[in-house]
Amino acid sequence: MQQLAAVIGSPVRHSLSPAIHNAAFAHHGDAWVYLAFEVQPQHAAAAVDAMRVLGISGLSVTMPHKEMVLGALDDLSDDARLVGAANTVVRDSSGRLIGHNTDGAGCVDALQRAGADLGSVAVVGAGATARAVVVALVGAGASVGVVNRTAERRSIAVRIGNSVRSNSTNAIEPEDLAAFPTIINTTPVGMHGLGADDHTNATPFDVSLLHTGQFVLDAVYHPLETTLLRAVRERGGTAVDGLEMLCAQAARQQELWLGRRPDVALMRAAALAELAASQR
């Protein structure tokens, strides 16, 4: 019997997740299919409840729903509870819906694949994705600095990091970024297609702070080469695009659903093929 998995969010019309997940399902011979459902924010919890009625086996949750779905779940993993957001829902053997968060682990996986220095890492932003990244980095042994335009949200991310490991996470200022060997942008700055708030040509911080030898991961993957990543390469750094993180966290999702982690390179190739087809 074929199993259904899906992503909910708004907007999701250009989501690469169906291509990524379906390629892995096909490669492994799984009787699963993955779809995308446009769900308005006020209906996020109802969409999770629909898993019970429709028999959906796995769910991905993207912006802006990661915090909105929590009340509809039966339980949370430790990471999802700590972060206060879930991007993955698993139906367990008894039918209970369990929320997990694979964003942080996927980010760390992507950086490790790129050979980044994870000893000292700066995180730009303090939203749900940033909090997940901070938790995963601290768990991997990193010392973390968090920069964010809102001090209150920054302090929450710092507190969460320090709850995982004391004295691991500190608040920093934008000018401190030059001292970090690895920087992660978790903000939407640089993303295409945000209407009046389109930030395509903007960067989340002053790129003159970048220098040779730094690794920079931009969680934005549309466009694939953001203005920030182009600046990283121009200044002799190593750029890690958001598609690497997207595929790595998707591989972690499939591990939760099916007990095996697919090849990230296979998933990335499927995403790139989908992007190429959409541009014809």
C-alpha closest to that of 146 among 166, 123, 167, 120:
123
Buried b (16+ CB within 10 A) or exposed e, 229-258: bebbeebebbbbbbbbbbbbbbbbbbebbb
SS3 46: helix
| 66 is annotated as an active-site residue | yes
d(CA 221, CA 34): 20
**Active-site hit among 65, 66, 100, 199:** 66
C-alpha closest to that of 264 among 280, 276, 252, 277:
252
The amino acid at residue 183 is: I
Catalytic (active-site) positions: 66
